[in-house]
Structure 1
């Protein structure tokens, strides 16, 4: 039996928001998050009981983020990335590190950026990422490893929290 939709939102809301934030600025990420759960609410009754709900939601979030990007001109997306933390406020040094990390992530090719967002922010496995991106787990793992390698070469390994392959 499927759990009530409110529990789905509570269980996966933060992961979906992290994915949206990796692709969009704060305001648009909130919009994409809302649109994700509105679409999911409509489709949830038809979702198979054995479906991977988190991967399903991440796929919807990915599409909603793309929709948000398409709504706005590229020049409006060039605003400075806001430094964020996952658990509470950051100090000035942490804010600077976060800003540098987000700016470095922005320079990665799209597939690498998406794989890293889904893996480290969304918590998806490489098999789930492959489903979302319509590829293979091996290709997702390779894109993730390549992205981490590029970030390490740009920033130094000590500045990449939790980034183990």
Structure 2
């Protein structure tokens, strides 16, 4: 099988253009403490996969998908592998609400179920469309719409329609 040659920009150009987006999404999904580690891991994975890309379309979405998956891996790694009797529940912190413009809103986002939290963060912090959110969460665009819709419904109920 012969691979078609793809014209990709130098990896440093990709980093220069998108490092803020990757850092912001990593911090939103993993929190202030782990966000830098998630971003670093995402860049490592992107660098390793970059020469094998078969398309130069939407590299930003590709990077944000890798970032979301690295954050998911972090959350999964922190969950206990076997249930422990009488053990307190494990909580994984999302973004530190105090670091965002509307701390009450981000505190509520942190309290959403994990997949809803990731979906709404990818949509509104990562600025991905539902196809991008679906790719990052390994689901369908319809499921992505539902996750975002359910998250927004929960937030609207908590804050009412007027919260800005």
Shared fold by TM > 0.5? yes
**CA RMSD, aligned part only?**
2.4
Match of 2:62 among 56, 60, 76: 56
Residues 1:43 and 1:81: Cα distance change in structure 2 (over 3 Å): same
Number of equivalences: 149
Q: Report the CA distance between 1:27 and its aligned residue.
A: 2.1
Q: What are the superposed Cα offsets for residues 68-90 of structure 1, whole Å, 9 maximum, x if unpaired?
A: 334547757459824224xxxxx
2:42 maps to 1:27 = no
Match of 2:99 among 84, 94, 107: 84
Distance, in Å, in 2 between the alignment partners of 1:119 and 1:36 is: 18
Question: What is the TM-score when the length of structure 2 is the normalising length?
Answer: 0.77
Higher helix share: 1
Question: What is the TM-score when the length of structure 1 is the normalising length?
Answer: 0.77
Task: Give the equivalent residue in structure 2 for 1:137.
Answer: 141
- Given that 2:29 and 2:95 are in contact with CA atoms closer than 8 Å, whether structure 1 keeps it comes out as no
Larger radius of gyration: 2
Contiguous gaps of at least 5 residues in structure 1: 86-93, 161-165
